[in-house]
């Protein structure tokens, strides 16, 4: 497969997600020169392309990685301790922070690799190969989302969650797993159709709401590392979040 064919495939596959950095990523500087004011040399056209098309994507990629790093580092501050002060904050808010950070990490890295694939044949071949593997292994993103769901469910098993709260090593492992969950969501979302991108959050909301209802009404003491009253509080919050998601997403 040639360099140009790799780029054509990269662009075609990315058009199903958040798009190519330019819309004209496969154009050469000579092609770009023809759409710019007359008199611009090929070298000037290439400089324009790298500055006005590639640089914004480099900046966006670095920005996403920076935000993700900031979110993770913030968990080492008193904010992290606050988000572990109650079952609701720990199970919902803090885990959500790590999932978002994992998603942004992957988004930023993906953007930088895409830029690299425009400048290097080796990177282009590798990126095209990874896209093919993702498309083949995770049809429509199902495999990635299933694995993410399994990881999430594993750390919400009472014994595992309680151990993570009491054991620092297990706690770090749990947080790292949620970073991976965020990355899997990004990888899976690249293959979702527009319709499925609306349905997926609803499915997640329903699963969360059902588990919330269990915590709200069960007579059992599920998460013994937190006071019993916080268990029903966390369940109520999950149910309310499900209803809010239904009211805001379903109409669209």
**8 Å CB contact between 197 and 189:** yes
Closest alpha carbon to 148 in 110, 191, 102? 102
Q: What pLDDT does residue 73 have?
A: 96
Contacts by 115-123, CB closer than 8 A, 24 or more apart: 115/21, 115/54, 115/57, 115/58, 115/61, 117/6, 117/7, 117/10, 118/7, 118/21, 118/25, 118/54, 119/54, 121/3, 121/6
Is the pTM here over 0.85, yes or no?
Answer: no
Distance CA 252, CA 203 (A): 15
Closest alpha carbon to 138 in 192, 201, 179, 101? 192
Q: What pLDDT does residue 250 have?
A: 63
pLDDT tens, residue order, the chain (252 aa): 443 444 444 444 444 444 444 444 445 544 544 444 445 455 555 555 566 667 888 889 999 999 999 999 999 999 999 999 999 999 999 999 999 999 999 999 998 988 888 777 888 888 888 778 777 777 777 888 989 999 999 999 999 999 999 999 999 999 999 999 999 999 888 887 777 777 888 888 899 999 999 999 998 999 999 999 999 999 999 999 999 888 887 665
Residue 26 three-state SS: coil
């Amino acid at each position: 497969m040639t360099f140009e064919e790799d780029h054509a495939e990269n662009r075609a596959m990315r058009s199903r997600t958040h798009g190519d950095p330019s819309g004209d990523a496969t154009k050469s500087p000579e092609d770009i020169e023809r759409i710019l004011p007359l008199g611009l040399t090929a070298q000037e056209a290439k400089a324009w392309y790298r500055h006005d098309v590639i640089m914004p994507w480099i900046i966006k990629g670095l920005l996403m990685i920076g935000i993700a790093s900031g979110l993770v580092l913030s968990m080492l501050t008193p904010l992290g301790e606050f988000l572990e002060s109650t079952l609701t904050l720990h199970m919902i808010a803090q885990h959500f922070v790590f999932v978002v950070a994992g998603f942004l990490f992957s988004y930023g890295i993906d953007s930088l690799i895409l830029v690299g694939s425009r400048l290097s044949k080796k990177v282009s071949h590798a990126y095209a190969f990874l896209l093919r593997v993702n498309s083949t292994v995770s049809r429509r993103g199902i495999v990635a989302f299933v694995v993410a769901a399994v990881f999430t469910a594993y750390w919400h098993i009472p014994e595992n969650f309680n151990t993570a709260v009491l054991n620092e090593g297990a706690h770090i492992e749990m947080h790292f797993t949620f970073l991976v969950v965020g990355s899997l969501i990004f990888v899976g979302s690249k293959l979702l159709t527009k319709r499925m991108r609306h349905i997926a959050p609803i499915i997640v909301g329903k699963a969360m709401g059902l588990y919330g209802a269990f915590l709200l009404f069960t007579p059992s003491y599920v998460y013994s590392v937190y006071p019993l009253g916080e268990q029903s509080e966390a369940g109520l919050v999950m149910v309310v979040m499900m209803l809010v998601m239904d009211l805001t997403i379903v109409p669209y």
